[in-house]
Amino acid sequence: MVASGFDGVERRGLMFVLSSPSGAGKTTLSRMLLEREPGLKMSVSATTRQMRPGEVEGRDYYFVDKQTFEKMVEQGELLEWATVFDNLYGTPRAPVEAALSAGQDVLFDIDWQGTQQLHQKASVDVVRVFILPPSAADLEKRLHTRAQDSDEVIRGRMSRATHELSHWAEYDYIVINQNVDDAFAEVQSILKAERLKRERRTGLTEFVRKLQRQLEK
């Protein structure tokens, strides 16, 4: 799990989790982060839900049937998994471990249940960010604009949002997505600051020793 900062000091890779009720803008923020942060790699989840128009197998999700998903659970292939809106969702373990050991940070778009499991397994390496919509009206508008789900599904997502919101206090950072550019700048600042945390920067002792040797000359 060794990554290297811009300053060349080695550090442990981090697991950057974005959660929010559906429609709070998390997917847009994730895409922006991936575009602008080359050291960050998305964890692609497996799910039993139906593919939506525009989604791509292996990019948005690995779409699998229930039997395949259950086999993955049995064989310990998932780092965490949960039931969300009557479908199963889970994070394949191998790509995350490979990315972290190749020195990359990993971005997760998972719900509060998955975040809890990840935090139990790797607390020091997990950074949890919760995205809030500025209002209920805004959330509903975004769910409709997305136009990928039926009215019934949207109603279900709205009522689940109340429940999901109640988990806000389990996160390290809360970002209110009033405006996507401001919210993005906030999320990016969190990532930048977390990358600089002393505890992750395993190469600092060596760096400072070298500095001291130079000063003593």
Residue 114's H or E segment, with its range, is helix 112-122
Residue 151's H or E segment, with its range, is helix 151-165
Nearer to ligand 5GP, 153 or 180 (CB): 153
Q: How far is the CB of 2 from ligand 5GP (least distance, A)?
A: 25
* Interatomic CA distance for residues 189 and 135, integer angstroms: 24
Q: Give the footprint of ligand 5GP on residues 109-148 (CB under 6 A).
A: 109-111, 113-114
Q: Which stretch binds ligand 5GP (CB under 6 A): 62-70, 97-105, 108-116, 183-191?
A: 108-116
Three-class SS of residue 163?
A: helix
Q: How far is the CB of 198 from ligand 5GP (least distance, A)?
A: 30
Buried-exposed string 21-54: b where 16+ CB fall within 10 A, e elsewhere: bbbbbbeebbebbeeebeebbbbbbbbbeeeeee
Q: Which of 14, 22, 104, 119 binds ligand 5GP (CB under 6 A)?
A: 22
* Interatomic CA distance for residues 53 and 9, integer angstroms: 43
**If binding is defined by CB under 6 A, does position 107 make contact with ligand 5GP?**
no
Nearer to ligand 5GP, 110 or 190 (CB): 110
Dihedral (Cα; 140, 145, 150, 155), 10-degree rounding = 0
Q: How far is the CB of 10 from ligand 5GP (least distance, A)?
A: 29
Interface map 58-97 toward ligand 5GP (x if CB under 6 A):
----------------------x-x-x----xxx------
Q: How far is the CB of 129 from ligand 5GP (least distance, A)?
A: 12
Q: How far is the CB of 124 from ligand 5GP (least distance, A)?
A: 20
Three-class SS of residue 188?
A: helix
Q: What is the CB neighbour count within 10 angstroms for residue 65? A: 10
Q: Which of 39, 49, 142, 188 binds ligand 5GP (CB under 6 A)?
A: 49
* Interatomic CA distance for residues 93 and 79, integer angstroms: 5
The footprint of ligand 5GP (CB under 6 A) covers: 19, 22, 45, 49, 80, 82, 84, 89-91, 109-111, 113-114
